[in-house]
Amino acid sequence: SLIKNLFKSTIGMTMPQSYGSLPTQETEPGVDVVPASEDVDISATIKKVMGKTAIIVSLGVGIVVASFALPGSSPDPDRLTLLSKSGSSDAEHWPPSLHTLFNVAPPYPVTTAAASEAGWVKIDEPCNPLLGEAWLLQGERARNSSATLYFSPEVEGTPGHVTGIEVDYYGYIEDKLVGTYFSEAKTAKDGTYHSVSLALRDIEKYDLCDTKKPLAGGNDAHVALSPDMANTMVPSIETDPELESSWKEGSCLVGMGTHWFTDAVSGKDLTLKTENTVPIVPMYNTYGDKKIAGVFFMATDRKQNWDFEACPIEGSPMEVVTCNCFVQKNCNFWDKSPGLLEALEPPFYMCANMCGDCAFSGTKDGYFSTMHWFFQDAAATVSCPSGKEKCREGAGEAH
């Protein structure tokens, strides 16, 4: 196939086993991954290579920039060009941008103006003082677009800025975490779901529902998990003593950062039971600015749509994922993989994110799912050591 030939002619790089769906380069500490060219004409490449589906591979960096537009819809070349070149960043506010894992889709909008252009719609519900005003893709809460972006209000033509993220988990969740990290059950057209939210502004300093003056910029990084329940503060920089005292250090993966886990029962001394594992994992730019690079939402079963008959789990991981997500167009907001195995078995397994003892138990079907959100262009800025050195001394052995 055209995609298969494209892969064979362009890719010859190593891949982290837990994220074998996409290529990365292993680099020595302190050596940044070179950013993909800003001169790529996404629209022209889409039309030239595949019409409506294409993958653009930058040889020098091993980063895939996929022309995957909105979940459940065909890519729109004009919209892809718009999102990739304008309106997707705001340097005056934190976070200045929101990126997907390895930039396999255009950046998420961080202003209400960009959100409107990208098909997000403010929904008719009161402003949440902990998170802001809720916006949904195409104005619809659905299984295939299971994330809500929260923004401050637009004031007299000044766009609002992103102030929160909420992910809806349809189907299985860890019931023990309801009321601390997961919301109570809610119902939408696709069935019952529970939500996990992240607040990106300190409400002690900012009024997220102020309709009289625009939200001030210059804010520090702020990440609070489930602010209306556990209100767990996620340190914004890796050198914060709170991180080491309450979280367990994991591995550093190129284009993501160093992963840290915590347990609702035992903190950094993980029980490795899914019923106790806090469903947010932060990642830090350890060999760069030390700041939080992003987080992933974790689910303890398969959340990604997958056509196993059309796209069996065989062959190269890239071809498997491309078959399901870009040819069959099945994929939703969850990361583009069939899931990460609970067991330490390639090509996709959760323990690749961990260091030291890792014997998880309790997933519904033997799989985890992840949904990454990055607060910087981690694919271009976050480097890590290679091989076993991805786990620092004292963190435990790499998997």
Q: Please give the pLDDT value at position 174.
A: 98
In tens, the pLDDT along 139-160 reads: 999 999 999 999 999 999 999 9
pTM of the shown model? 0.82
| Interacting residues of 36 by C-beta distance below 8 A, sequence separation 6+ | 58, 61, 63, 65, 103, 379, 380
Task: Give the separation between CA 345 and CA 242, rounded to whole angstroms.
Answer: 33
Q: Please give the pLDDT value at position 48.
A: 31
Nearest Cα to Cα of residue 287 among 398, 381, 388, 396: 381
Nearest Cα to Cα of residue 350 among 17, 4, 18, 8: 18
2 φψ region: left (φ > 0), alpha (ψ -120 to 50), beta (else): alpha
Q: Please give the pLDDT value at position 55.
A: 33
End-to-end alpha-carbon separation of the chain, Å? 34
Nearest Cα to Cα of residue 384 among 31, 34, 36, 11: 31
What does pLDDT average to over the chain? 81
Length reported for the chain: 399
| Interacting residues of 75 by C-beta distance below 8 A, sequence separation 6+ | 46, 52, 53, 67, 68, 69
User: What is residue 115's DSSP assignment?
Assistant: H
Q: Please give the pLDDT value at position 346.
A: 82
Task: Give the separation between CA 44 and CA 95, rounded to whole angstroms.
Answer: 30
Task: Give the separation between CA 57 and CA 36, rounded to whole angstroms.
Answer: 9
Q: Please give the pLDDT value at position 24.
A: 37
% of the chain exceeding 90 in pLDDT: 66
Question: Could you identify the residue written with the tokens 């939200």?
Answer: 215
Neighbouring-strand partners of residue 149: 135, 165
Please compute the mean of the pLDDT values over residues 338-357 and round it to a whole number. 92
Residue 109 has pLDDT above 60, yes or no: yes
Please compute the mean of the pLDDT values over residues 334-361 and round it to a whole number. 92
Residue 70 has pLDDT above 80, yes or no: no
Residue 137 has pLDDT above 70, yes or no: yes
Task: Give the separation between CA 356 and CA 250, rounded to whole angstroms.
Answer: 8
Amino acid at 261: F
In tens, the pLDDT along 204-247 reads: 999 999 999 999 999 999 999 999 999 999 999 999 999 999 99
Three-class DSSP category at 128: strand
* Distance set, CA 177 to CA 152, 192, 258 (Å): 29, 16, 25
Residue 75 has pLDDT above 90, yes or no: no
In tens, the pLDDT along 157-188 reads: 999 999 999 999 999 999 999 999 999 999 99
Please compute the mean of the pLDDT values over residues 356-380 and round it to a whole number. 96
> Which of residues 106 and 272 earns the better pLDDT score?
272
Residue 73 has pLDDT above 60, yes or no: no
Nearest Cα to Cα of residue 57 among 14, 107, 104, 20: 104
Q: Please give the pLDDT value at position 64.
A: 32
Task: Give the separation between CA 181 and CA 191, rounded to whole angstroms.
Answer: 20
Please compute the mean of the pLDDT values over residues 111-123 and round it to a whole number. 96
Please compute the mean of the pLDDT values over residues 103-113 and round it to a whole number. 92
% of the chain exceeding 70 in pLDDT: 78
Task: Give the separation between CA 17 and CA 352, rounded to whole angstroms.
Answer: 6
pLDDT band at 88; cut points 50, 70, 90:
low
Residue 8 has pLDDT above 80, yes or no: no
pLDDT band at 76; cut points 50, 70, 90:
very low
Residue 63 has pLDDT above 80, yes or no: no
Q: The tokens of 159 are what?
A: 């766009």
Per DSSP, helices labelled H in 183-312 are: 241-246
Q: Please give the pLDDT value at position 69.
A: 29
Please compute the mean of the pLDDT values over residues 177-205 and round it to a whole number. 97
